Amino acid sequence: MLDIKWIRDHQEQVQTAAEEKGIELSVPELLRWDDQRRVLLQETERLRQERNRLTPQIEAQIREHGPDAAVTLKDDVKQLNRRLQGLEKELVEADREYRRLMLLVPNPVSPDTPQGRSDLDNVEVKRVGESPTFGFAPRDHVALGELHRIIDIPRGVKTAGSRNYYLSGAGVLLHRAVQQLAMDLLMAKGFTLLEVPLMVRSEALENTGFFPLGADQTFRIADDDRWLVGTAEVPLVSYYDHEIVDLTQPIKLAAASVCFRSEVGSAGRDVHGLYRVHQFSKVEQVVLCENDVERSEQLFQEITQNAEELLQLLELPYRVMAVCTGDMSQKTYKQYDIETWMPSRGAYGETHSSSQLLDFQARRSNLRYKDRDGKLQYGYTLNNTMVASPRILIPLLENHQEEDGSIRIPLALRKYMNGLERLTPTSLQL
């Protein structure tokens, strides 16, 4: 959410951001509703004050002259009340429309964000590592998972419907190993680890910018205002909502959590295997800092580098992409995606994402701090997907496979894999 005064002063910029991000919003309409509610609020306050002025006069006349002495004043108050009832209804409608439109207002994008309409227009920032060249026909992760009996998609579908799966044996170890490696890296960098709620109220999703536009991606608990989170970003930011925090130094939080997404609109190769599934696990970084754009940019690069370090330890080739305007969400000011090479796709696939949000979430969440002059300010928030699994298993299995179907375990993961150096088709079968 942005400050309404700022929106008034930057109408064209806000409207452009809405159009670039594909959000149906009329800034002039928003401002008209704001004007109307201000007029209505002023008039209702004036009438309430007039009613409050007349009430003691009525009481005084009744005391001095009896119950019939204040008939005219009573009629005046009745008329005031009728007018107030009408105005208050109009004010409720104006407030409702104003808030509805305010919740659609997008965060403007950074000056260095590339223009574009879709992920095809994202711009490569850098590329690290070389994609492997196989002297044999490589298997995809589904075939490798079946060969090693570590991924079972048919039984997942049988039990829970499409885009579900089972992991077993070494698949579970790999799934947990990458998460633990990510957590250990973040702990070494001063992050505070949290175990977070997986079900949150709609207010938490609205405050963090996932509602209203992302409601169709979110699973709701039946007959209850609780929703399953699609990222630990929501409970991590919400940890400090409606609080005044000390941001002399940035607050760095991390969580490993199960996540749930409906993945409405996904199609094609994205729904093959483990790429887009309804249930997955993520290690998420969230950073809160003072409202300083330069400091935010430094932290943005830092959390992105944390994810890059993980990929380097996993010995996987990747590239960093600057996300264009048309591929960004409502809440994002600047975004980098990290894409890892996936041989079965013959292309890079998104595995990580870093975002700067400036004070967009903090305003919605009423998350503030005191600056050096003691004045309350809204903080800035940032987030990054340190790792998401089972998606990361796709490049892990496919890039490290050998001709006989064996899969080499990167050195950094071996201590989490009971010392295993490679998986063979008979390793840890059920």
What per-residue confidence (pLDDT) applies to 425? 87
Instruction: Tell me which amino acid residue 290 is.
Output: E
Q: How many Å apart are CA 240 and CA 288, to the nearest integer?
A: 10
Q: Which residue has the higher pLDDT, 203 or 271?
A: 203
What per-residue confidence (pLDDT) applies to 402? 97
Main-chain dihedrals φ then ψ at residue 361, nearest 5 degrees: -70, -35
Average pLDDT, the chain: 94
> What dihedral angle (degrees, nearest 10) is formed by the CA atoms of 357, 307, 231, 360?
0
357 with 145: CB under 8 angstroms? no
User: What does the DSSP 8-state code read for residue 107?
Assistant: P
Point out the catalytic residue in the list 391, 398, 406, 427: 391
What per-residue confidence (pLDDT) applies to 216? 94
- Mean pLDDT, to the nearest integer, of 275-279? 96
| Cβ-based neighbour number of residue 326 at 10 Å | 18
Question: Worst-scoring range by mean pLDDT, 150-164, 257-271, 280-294, 391-405?
Answer: 257-271
From the number of C-beta atoms within 10 Å of its C-beta (0-12, 13-18, 19+), residue 86 rates as exposed
pLDDT digits (tens, 9 = 90+) for 324-353: 999 999 999 999 999 999 999 999 999 999
Q: Is the pLDDT of residue 265 over 60?
A: yes
Point out the catalytic residue in the list 353, 355, 365, 406: 353
Q: How many Å apart are CA 211 and CA 207, to the nearest integer?
A: 8
Which pair of tokens denotes residue 208?
Answer: 């963090």
Point out the catalytic residue in the list 284, 339, 350, 398: 350
What per-residue confidence (pLDDT) applies to 430? 46
Q: Is the pLDDT of residue 235 over 80?
A: yes
Q: In what order do the strands lie in the sheet with 279-289?
A: 123-128, 318-322, 334-342, 347-356, 380-389, 279-289, 251-260, 192-193
Q: How many Å apart are CA 287 and CA 299, to the nearest integer?
A: 8
pLDDT digits (tens, 9 = 90+) for 125-172: 999 999 999 999 999 999 999 999 999 999 999 999 999 999 999 999
Q: How many Å apart are CA 399 and CA 132, to the nearest integer?
A: 7
Point out the catalytic residue in the list 261, 296, 354, 365: 261
What per-residue confidence (pLDDT) applies to 48? 86
Query: Which residues does 350 contact at the CB level (< 8 Å), separation at least 6?
Result: 337, 338, 339
205 with 211: CB under 8 angstroms? yes
What per-residue confidence (pLDDT) applies to 428? 47
Q: How many Å apart are CA 268 and CA 289, to the nearest integer?
A: 39
Q: Which residue's structure tokens are 């975004």?
A: 335
User: Is 391 among the catalytic positions?
Assistant: yes
Q: Is the pLDDT of residue 190 over 60?
A: yes
pLDDT digits (tens, 9 = 90+) for 23-58: 999 999 999 999 999 999 999 999 988 877 877 776
For 282: left if phi > 0, alpha if psi spans -120 to 50, otherwise beta; the answer is beta
The verdict on whether omega for the bond into residue 410 sits within 30 degrees of 0, i.e. cis, is no
User: What does the DSSP 8-state code read for residue 363?
Assistant: H
Main-chain dihedrals φ then ψ at residue 26, nearest 5 degrees: -110, 110
What per-residue confidence (pLDDT) applies to 266? 67
**Helix runs in 161-199, H state only:** 170-188
Q: Which residue's structure tokens are 């008939």?
A: 71
Q: How many Å apart are CA 266 and CA 268, to the nearest integer?
A: 7
- CA–CA distances in Å: residue 115 to residues 85, 104, 300, 356, 366: 49, 21, 20, 17, 31
Point out the catalytic residue in the list 38, 276, 295, 319: 276
User: Is 353 among the catalytic positions?
Assistant: yes
17 with 333: CB under 8 angstroms? no
Residues in the chain: 430
At residue 429 the predicted structure's pLDDT band, cuts being 50, 70 and 90, is very low
Q: Is the pLDDT of residue 413 over 70?
A: yes
User: Is 261 among the catalytic positions?
Assistant: yes
User: Is 350 among the catalytic positions?
Assistant: yes
Main-chain dihedrals φ then ψ at residue 257, nearest 5 degrees: -145, 155
